[in-house]
């Protein structure tokens, strides 16, 4: 097919009157063109955003954990409530929740998701007859919705540093390393049968795995794919840093850098509490900082040193994590605003080359997200997968217009959804703000929420 865009944010920057030829899901040609040559004519296109960190089942949990207890709440009390909630979920429930979530992601401009998947077993903690049953529900949700998927099965073995015995709420997550590697291999087979998907792994955290389990799991997935993405929760909470120091005598990111062969396919999720040496180490290895601003704010985690990291050419990606928000615009807005509040300055995450904060953040996060998923996405260029977001220019015309301001208006001025159409892998999945399955899925999802909250 041929797509004509009045304005296109290409890998080289903004360009006018661009004709994109798309074959087998890939952009094969970009030329200065005329609308008469196109199958579809649109106003403004930008690359789709990659969501680098998702726990799909937590979408159904949004809103259930905001009951306070006189300032005594924290990430750790939230986690206990979450454990109680997920005890109820079946395989079918997980598939429905993920489908609802992925449709919401598409409508907001995400075109690929890295699913940090740790809900493996039944509600008694026993493996399903097919070990990959829960993972297969996620693959089915991806296929039904049309979003690209990077499946990251999670290795979870302990409840704390020092190989502490898992608690009751964690029983659905636990695998031996051998069983986990079997699951990863099964997911790799599912990916071969599901379009636009790939597989990596996610050792949950340094508190939930030991060194040998971590290394064995990495070696196994890299035997299947030498570019397989590896994601890990790290340094999210100050308690985690203190516990790691007490056990390993090193801070979490420093221990990881010293003990594992980190490369550009590693994504360190949160990395909120890092020192200068750890920050420099992440930059030197090429590891991606997977930042989840709305969830980190919701859980009271803290603020990643984004200004300093990006100033040293560190690579960032964004994720919606617990899905208290499912909107890349809000993630990027909060990413910048948190830095403004700390620095007491404005327009911080821009560069001399790219003075538009919105443009710089969208481009950097899209490219970093592609790197975090080892996917051929992240920019509009010949040879790249056709993951394309069409902006609703009628809505954006209410704010500062023109190439110079388009992404700033999208991220910092608009309050409504300004994503009109979305293409993933050469297929339209959102047209005129709508997904073909959304009403049916939403009706079933609201019924499920009513059952879970009764």
Distance CA 417, CA 59 (A): 19
The pLDDT of residue 61:
84
The pLDDT of residue 71:
60
pLDDT tens, per residue, the chain with 454 residues: 999 999 999 999 999 999 999 999 999 999 998 889 899 999 999 999 999 999 999 998 887 767 666 566 777 677 777 777 778 899 999 999 999 999 999 999 999 999 999 999 999 999 999 999 999 999 999 999 999 999 999 999 999 999 999 999 899 999 999 999 999 999 999 999 999 999 999 999 999 999 999 999 999 999 999 999 999 999 999 999 999 999 999 999 999 999 999 999 999 999 999 999 999 999 999 999 999 999 999 999 999 999 999 999 999 999 999 999 999 999 999 999 999 999 999 999 999 999 999 999 999 999 999 999 999 999 999 999 999 999 999 999 999 988 899 999 999 999 999 999 999 999 999 999 999 999 999 999 999 998 887 6
197-199 and 427-430 beta bridge pairing: unpaired
As annotated, the residues of the chain forming the CATH 3.20.20.140 domain(s) are 50-372
The helix, strand and coil proportions of the chain, stated in percent and rounded to the nearest 5, come to 40, 20, 35
CATH code, 50-372: 3.20.20.140
Whether 371 and 264 have beta carbons less than 8 Å apart is answered as yes
Distance CA 22, CA 34 (A): 16
CA–CA distance from 395 to each of 43, 128, 138, 320, 337 (Å)?
12, 48, 33, 24, 23
Chain-centre distance for alpha carbon 189: 22
The pLDDT of residue 72:
63
Catalytic-residue membership of 270: yes
The pLDDT of residue 68:
62
Q: SS3 for 50? A: strand
> Pick from 113, 185, 121: which is nearest to 142 by CA?
113
Distance CA 168, CA 333 (A): 38
**What are the start-end ranges of the H helices in 327-356?**
328-343
> Pick from 230, 364, 210, 361: which is nearest to 287 by CA?
230
Distance CA 100, CA 118 (A): 19
The pLDDT of residue 325:
97
Which residues are 30's β-sheet partners?
A: 20
Distance CA 119, CA 24 (A): 34
The pLDDT of residue 83:
77
> Pick from 137, 143, 169: which is nearest to 156 by CA?
169
Of 53, 204, 220, 270, catalytic: 270
Catalytic-residue membership of 321: yes
The pLDDT of residue 243:
98
Distance CA 407, CA 161 (A): 43
Question: Model-level pTM?
Answer: 0.96
Structural element, H or E, at residue 318: strand 315-318
Query: DSSP assignment, residue 123?
Result: T
The pLDDT of residue 70:
58
Which residues are 155's β-sheet partners?
A: 203
Give the tokens for residue 351: 């560069």
Of 321, 387, 392, 421, catalytic: 321
CATH architecture of 2-46+381-438: Roll (2.30)
As annotated, the residues of the chain forming the CATH 2.30.40.10 domain(s) are 2-46+381-438
Distance CA 196, CA 375 (A): 9
Residues in the chain, total: 454
* Torsion 390-391-394-400 (CA) sign: negative
* Max Cα distance, the chain (Å): 67
Distance CA 404, CA 267 (A): 31
């Amino acid at each position: 097919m041929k797509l004509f865009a009045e304005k296109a944010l290409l890998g080289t920057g903004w360009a006018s009157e661009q004709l994109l030829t798309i074959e087998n899901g890939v952009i094969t040609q970009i030329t200065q063109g005329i609308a008469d040559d196109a199958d579809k004519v649109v106003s403004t296109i930008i690359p789709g955003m990659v969501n680098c960190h998702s726990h799909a089942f937590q979408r159904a949990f949004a809103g259930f954990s905001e009951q306070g207890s006189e300032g005594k709440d924290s990430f750790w009390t939230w986690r206990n409530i979450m454990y109680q909630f997920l005890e109820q979920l079946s395989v079918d429930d997980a598939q429905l929740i993920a489908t609802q979530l992925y449709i919401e992601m598409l409508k907001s401009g995400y075109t690929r998701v890295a699913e940090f998947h740790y809900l493996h077993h039944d509600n008694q903690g026993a493996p399903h007859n097919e070990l990959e049953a829960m993972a297969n529900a996620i693959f089915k949700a991806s296929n039904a919705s049309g979003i690209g998927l990077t499946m990251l099965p999670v290795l979870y073995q302990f409840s704390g540093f020092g190989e502490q015995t898992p608690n009751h709420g964690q029983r659905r997550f636990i695998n031996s390393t051998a069983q986990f590697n079997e699951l990863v291999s099964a997911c790799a087979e599912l990916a071969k049968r599901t379009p636009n998907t790939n597989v990596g792994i996610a050792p949950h955290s340094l508190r939930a795995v030991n060194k040998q389990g971590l290394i064995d799991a990495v070696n196994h997935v890299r035997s299947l794919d030498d570019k397989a993405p590896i994601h890990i929760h790290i340094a999210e909470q100050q308690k985690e840093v203190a516990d790691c120091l007490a056990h390993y005598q090193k801070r979490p990111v420093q221990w990881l850098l010293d003990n594992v062969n980190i490369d550009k396919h590693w994504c360190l999720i949160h990395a909120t509490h890092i020192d200068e040496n750890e920050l420099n180490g992440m930059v030197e290895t090429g590891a991606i900082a997977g930042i989840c601003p709305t969830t980190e704010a919701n859980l009271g985690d803290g603020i990643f040193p984004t200004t300093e990291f990006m100033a040293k050419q560190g690579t960032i990606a964004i994720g919606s994590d617990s899905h208290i928000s499912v909107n890349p615009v809000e993630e990027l807005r909060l990413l910048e605003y948190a830095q403004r509040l700390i620095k007491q300055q404005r327009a911080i995450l821009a560069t001399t080359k790219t003075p538009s904060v919105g443009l710089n953040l969208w481009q950097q996060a899209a490219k970093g997200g592609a790197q975090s998923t080892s996917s051929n996405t992240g920019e509009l260029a010949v040879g790249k997968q056709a993951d394309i977001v069409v902006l609703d220019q009628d809505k954006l015309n209410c704010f500062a217009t023109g190439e110079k301001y388009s992404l700033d208006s999208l991220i910092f001025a608009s309050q409504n959804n300004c994503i009109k159409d979305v293409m993933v892998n050469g297929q339209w999945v959102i047209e005129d703000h709508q997904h073909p399955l959304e009403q049916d899925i939403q009706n079933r999802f609201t019924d499920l929420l009513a059952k879970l909250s009764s």
